[in-house]
Chains A and B, each alone.
Chain A
């Protein structure tokens, strides 16, 4: 007992002596914390926060590709509000988002419930259905562009050959149909994400709960309504918020299919911003257009943050 303390004490003190200032730095919780986080903070300040303020500066100016421009206040935003193209774009963006997210939700949850069943080749099916999500978006979109082709559309070929229609649809050239075609492709890309996320939520539900509710006499529907749904809800809502943000700000699919046409029928905020800001060179106006995404994004981000806070506190 006594000998162990005498051998222990000098050992500890010699270790303290050997410590350099460097090892103090990497051994203190605070300084190591700052050291590890600093590079990320610097990167985000330089390449996210700074460009964001640059964007606000541009949006308040009449800058073009050729001319640095001057401060014009809110003129860009006023002009946008008066522009019928901008208003149509705004309407398109909301329809595009609502339509696509609705399809993602219905098909995604349906697919998740299906994949939660046991059947042969389940692993292979699960891997296959993820393809639209993992493959480069615009490359997958090219397959749809070809399927929507006015002359060689395979969709129309099937519709006509099966006798359902005489001529088929003008998927991307009919202004009334184009927005739907584009949002369908966006939903196609997003269904796997929704399905796999919800599936993980389903599989995290303890089996006992189903057994218990079955003993209590709950039917199939009741079990879904009172066990499955409430327990999957947090995961479902997170997947939903992410899907809304990504759809609302989508660029690649619309750019790949229509570039906003025909007659602006499929322009969304991101494509109009690109077209105005970079393709036509009106940097100020283009920056203003993309900044008008901000209110919707902020609402979603704040809502998501509060949900996460609540779940980590609880």
Chain B
């Protein structure tokens, strides 16, 4: 009898052909479909206008690359301000989300108190409620407290979707850490709060890291609140600034637009390439655990 095959093992008369057909060909399709648009973005950002709008030249590669579009972006638009704005909003709202969400996640996972189950459910429901349900009243609520047309409105509003996410992710994470060490620390004289701060939080560092990465990318990418709560160009974030200033009345600045889209994507791509494993495990922890 032959040894059992592991999933994905092949025993065929034409192993190479089969592998080319069932592994490499589909992989090529997925890579072209999923990554192709970014190649296109890069190529366009580097092309001089003379090549960009010349139908006789092949659009698939760039003959004489130029940085003109990037220079335009930096000199003729508020791109630098948008980057600073986005950086500030993403950093601050991530900090707020972690400061509020991590302890709350700990409380829901470890501490028994009346109503904890209800609070847990309410937070989970809030996580599932999309921002497009609330953006109209949010514009008015922010205006009524004098927060219209300022970047600070986003720092206040982003935690509304970041905090439920962080709380939910972290309560799942804390549940995977055995509580023995905290019990020992309490016997040694630490308070519950002390045990959380000195024992549980350091142990939860990987979970906190992925919650932070998530929150940062979510705020970096956010669009509808950034579009509706802030309208002054100097107060915009990258996604809104790029779209609004580089596409005017059906006239598109394709080169700078692609350059801006590329540069606006680089920070999140970098953040995540450093932490790809954390990101993937956090993504699945968030999606899988209740």
The answer to whether A and B belong to the same complex is: yes
Main secondary structure on A side of the interface with B? helix
- List A residues 232-259 near B (Cβ within 8 Å): 234-235, 238-239, 242, 245-246, 248-252, 255-256
A40 at the interface (CB under 8 A from B): yes
Query: B residues within 8 A CB of A239?
Result: 287
Query: A residues within 8 A CB of B160?
Result: 43-44, 47-48
A28 to B111 Cα, complex, angstroms: 9
- List B residues 24-50 near A (Cβ within 8 Å): 24, 26-27, 30-31, 33-35, 37-38, 40-41, 44
A308 to B181 Cα, complex, angstroms: 28
A255 to B134 Cα, complex, angstroms: 17
Judging by beta carbons under 8 Å apart, are B283 and A193 in contact? yes
A248 to B220 Cα, complex, angstroms: 22
Instruction: Report which of A50, A51, A139, A248 forms a contact with B238, defined as CB distance below 8 A.
Output: A139
Q: Contacts A40-B101, A48-B160, A200-B288 hold; do A29 and B192 have CB atoms under 8 A apart?
A: yes
The CB with the most chain B CB atoms within 10 A, among A26, A41, A142, A294, is that of A142
A278 to B276 Cα, complex, angstroms: 38
Instruction: Report which of A30, A36, A157 forms a contact with B103, defined as CB distance below 8 A.
Output: A36
Interface residues of B, count at CB 8 A: 102
A110 at the interface (CB under 8 A from B): yes
A55 to chain B, nearest CB (A): 4
Q: Contacts A40-B101, A138-B243, A143-B37 hold; do A238 and B133 have CB atoms under 8 A apart?
A: no
A107 to B34 Cα, complex, angstroms: 11
Work out how many contacts link A and B, with CB atoms closer than 8 A.
Answer: 309
Judging by beta carbons under 8 Å apart, are A28 and B192 in contact? yes
Judging by beta carbons under 8 Å apart, are B7 and A228 in contact? yes
Q: Contacts A23-B191, A52-B137, A277-B136 hold; do A134 and B268 have CB atoms under 8 A apart?
A: yes
Chain A contact-residue range equals 35 or more
A68 to B120 Cα, complex, angstroms: 36
A301 at the interface (CB under 8 A from B): yes
Query: B residues within 8 A CB of A273?
Result: 132, 136
B87 at the interface (CB under 8 A from A): no
Judging by beta carbons under 8 Å apart, are B287 and A235 in contact? yes
Q: Contacts A27-B192, A51-B141, A132-B34 hold; do A143 and B8 have CB atoms under 8 A apart?
A: no
Query: B residues within 8 A CB of A215?
Result: 4
Query: A residues within 8 A CB of B35?
Result: 128-129, 131
A270 at the interface (CB under 8 A from B): yes
A260 at the interface (CB under 8 A from B): no
B114 to chain A, nearest CB (A): 7
A180 to chain B, nearest CB (A): 15
B189 at the interface (CB under 8 A from A): yes
Q: Contacts A43-B159, A142-B242, A147-B40 hold; do A290 and B136 have CB atoms under 8 A apart?
A: yes
Q: Contacts A139-B264, A147-B40, A274-B135 hold; do A249 and B257 have CB atoms under 8 A apart?
A: no
Interface residues of B (CB under 8 A from A): 4-8, 23-24, 26-27, 30-31, 33-35, 37-38, 40-41, 44, 52-53, 55, 58-60, 100-101, 103-104, 106-108, 111-114, 116, 119, 121-126, 128-141, 156-157, 159-160, 163-164, 167, 189, 191-194, 217, 220-221, 223-224, 227-228, 238-239, 242-243, 252, 254, 257-258, 260-261, 264-265, 268-269, 272-273, 276, 279-281, 283-284, 287-288, 290
- 30 residue pairs A–B, Cβ–Cβ below 8 Å: A15-B189, A26-B191, A29-B192, A32-B111, A33-B116, A36-B106, A40-B163, A43-B160, A107-B30, A132-B34, A134-B269, A136-B221, A137-B221, A137-B239, A139-B260, A140-B37, A145-B252, A146-B41, A197-B287, A201-B284, A210-B7, A228-B7, A234-B288, A235-B287, A242-B128, A246-B130, A249-B131, A252-B224, A256-B243, A283-B140
Having A47-B141, A48-B134, one finds 11 other A-B pairs with CB under 8 Å, namely: A27-B191, A37-B108, A40-B104, A55-B134, A130-B280, A135-B268, A138-B223, A210-B7, A249-B132, A251-B223, A283-B136
